Structure 1
Amino acid sequence: MRAPRLLGVLAIAGLGAATGVLALVPAGPAAAHDYVVSSTPAAGSTVDSSPATVSITFNDVILDLSGTGSSNVLEVTDAAGLHYEDGCSTTSGPTLATGVALGAPGAYTMTYQAVSADGHTVSDAVPFTYAPAAGTAEGDGSPTRPSCGSAGGAGGDSGASSGDETAAASPSASTEPEMTTMATPGDDTVATPSAASESGSVNAGLVIGIAVAIVVLAAAGVVVAIVTGRRRDGTPAEAEVDDPSAPVGDESSDGR
């Protein structure tokens, strides 16, 4: 009875060890995407004065892979799709920010695209409402995303001049090809080759974990085989001692 019981114990121990090893294998990159923890203005909030800047704060650092800040973009648009950001998105640790000059009262949306700490691009939108007092000066919106430093950014003086200067500044988009089109909010894509190397390291870790698990299970099987073999070898001897029909009765009858 001891051998089957020992077999069960060793099998459970082997499976537990294998599970523990697999649990130590790093999770895939998707589990490490940055996510928003706060924003200014807060999601769904109403502000009565135009903030000088708006920002999105993530749970981890934002990567500036381009070295020029073009890897991360924060836009502010109204219900008509006009832009009110200044085009100068900046990052500081986990925070992405941009200057703004809001226009007419109404619904606005902060749309972000950022490279999270795992090398993947994340994007989404944060809505808020602007309800200033009557007579508050209104910023001029731009039909296209302004370039940093252009007159068409937040606080521009005239819609006509901003449109002309924005068009004149459009060649600068060639220096930022990866940000010419914002990703669909809520989408995430691989942004750099580093993600591929990270994926390779994860696959290597998975292979190692599986190999170790197989070794552990094989070792458990060897131990079970040895113990079971020894048990079988000892069974006849024990049977002779415990068998009530032992030769003792036969010898006594022969003696008679």
Structure 2
Amino acid sequence: MTPRLRHPAARAPRGRSRAAGRLVAAAATALTIVGGAVLGLAAPASAHNYMIASTPKADGTLTSLPKAFEITTNDKLLDIGGSNAGFAYRIVGPDGKYYEDGCLAVDGPSMTTKAALGDSGKYTVEWQIVSADGHTVSDEYTFTWKAPAGFTAATGAAEPPTCSTASGGSTEAATNGTASGATDSAGTDALFIAAGGVVVVGAVVAVLLLLRRRPAAPSSSDEDDPDAPRED
């Protein structure tokens, strides 16, 4: 009997498609993992700061004047050039007047100001900051002031005070405020995100090279191929 010869070329596409399918599946898994890592790095960079502590405490009662009124957030604040641009700290009394001195100091995640309070009552703190991601965030909270015996009440101001020194109107906040590492923090986030993007691109290139150069894997079904030559 004359043996029937098989045609290897007919089997090659089948083996090649299986190998390509396995590579594509592996590539998809790798890209999903890397993409998730990059998104995980980008998420903190786009999150706004929020207040985690304050002096006085929100809805708390104050019985003596603190050295400074303070807002502390969860991340470094973005005070570019120490200008305090975009920052505000107001302390409004029950009479609607302002009791802060108008000067701000930004240090790391915190913003502080000083105030001389008036008569006892409920006060409102109105604040605005610039988050590490560059967005402004504002909010307010109240506290109760119970003046101690012998306390001399301040008169307050009808308009928010402007911080100035006796030497001719230079802003104290401009000399006290610092970038507080916020720029470094934002820059570091950007570097991590860029590095993640390089990893993704590298993974894509590697997969394309493998798909182009890897030879087709032999098909195990060839062993049982009815068209394979048999010895009589």
Q: TM-score, normalised by structure 2?
A: 0.64
CA contact (8 A) 1:86 1:149 kept: no
Contact 1:15 1:217 survives alignment (8 Å):
no
Aligned to 2:123: 108
Equivalent position to 1:139, from 154, 161, 164: 154
From 115, 129, 134, give the equivalent of 1:119: 134
Aligned counterpart, 2:10: none
Match of 1:62 in 2: 77
Shift of 1:211: 3.7
Sort the Cα spacing of 1:212 and 1:85 in 2 relative to 1 into closer, same or farther, 3 A.
same
- Once residues 20 and 94 of structure 2 are traced to their aligned partners in structure 1, the CA distance between those partners, rounded to angstroms, is 69
| Contact in 2 for aligned 1:53/1:100 (Cα 8 Å) | yes
Q: CA deviation at 1:83?
A: 0.8
Which of 56, 81, 89 aligns to 1:74? It is 89
Choose from 30, 37, 40 the match for 1:17: 30
Identity of aligned residues (%): 34
Aligned to 1:187: none
Residues 149 and 200 of structure 1, relative CA distance in 2, 3 Å threshold: closer
Judged with a 3 Å threshold, the aligned counterparts in structure 2 of structure 1 residues 237 and 16 are, in CA distance, closer, same or farther, namely: closer
CA-based RMSD of the aligned residues comes to 4.2
1:239 to 2:225 alignment: yes
In 2, the alpha carbon distance for the partners of 1:126 and 1:237 equals 78
One-letter code aligned to 1:21: V
Which string of whole-angstrom CA distances, capped at 9 and with x for unpartnered residues, describes residues 118-137 of structure 1?
33322222322212346632
Question: For residues 36 and 223 of structure 1, do their structure 2 counterparts lie closer, same or farther at Cα, with a shift above 3 Å needed?
Answer: farther
Q: Which residue of 1 aligns with 2:109?
A: 94
Once the two structures are superposed, residues 92-130 of structure 1 have per-residue CA deviations (whole angstroms, 9 ceiling, x without a partner) of 222211111111222222222222333332222232221
**Residues 70 and 223 from structure 1, CA distance in 2 versus in 1: closer, same or farther, beyond 3 angstroms?**
closer
Q: Deviation at 1:18?
A: 0.3
Using a 3 Å threshold, how does the CA distance of structure 1 residues 91 and 199 change in structure 2: closer, same or farther? closer
Greater Cα offset, 133-142 or 102-111: 133-142
**Alpha carbons of 1:209 and 1:111: their partners in 2 closer, same or farther (altered >3 Å)?**
farther
Any idea what SS the aligned residue of 2:147 has? Answer: coil
What is the Cα deviation at residue 236 of structure 1? Answer: 4.1
Number of matched pairs: 201
Q: What letter is aligned with 1:97?
A: T
TM-score normalized with structure 1 length: 0.59
Change in CA separation of 1:30 and 1:140 when aligned onto 2, cut-off 3 Å: farther
Q: CA deviation at 1:32?
A: 4.0
Shift of 1:145: 0.8
2:4 counterpart residue number: none
TM-superposed CA distance for 1:87, in Å, is 0.6
Residue type at the aligned position of 2:216: I
| Aligned AA (1:226) | A
Which blocks of at least 5 consecutive residues in structure 2 are unaligned?
A: 1-14, 175-182
Name the amino acid aligned to 1:112: W
1:166 matched residue in structure 2: none
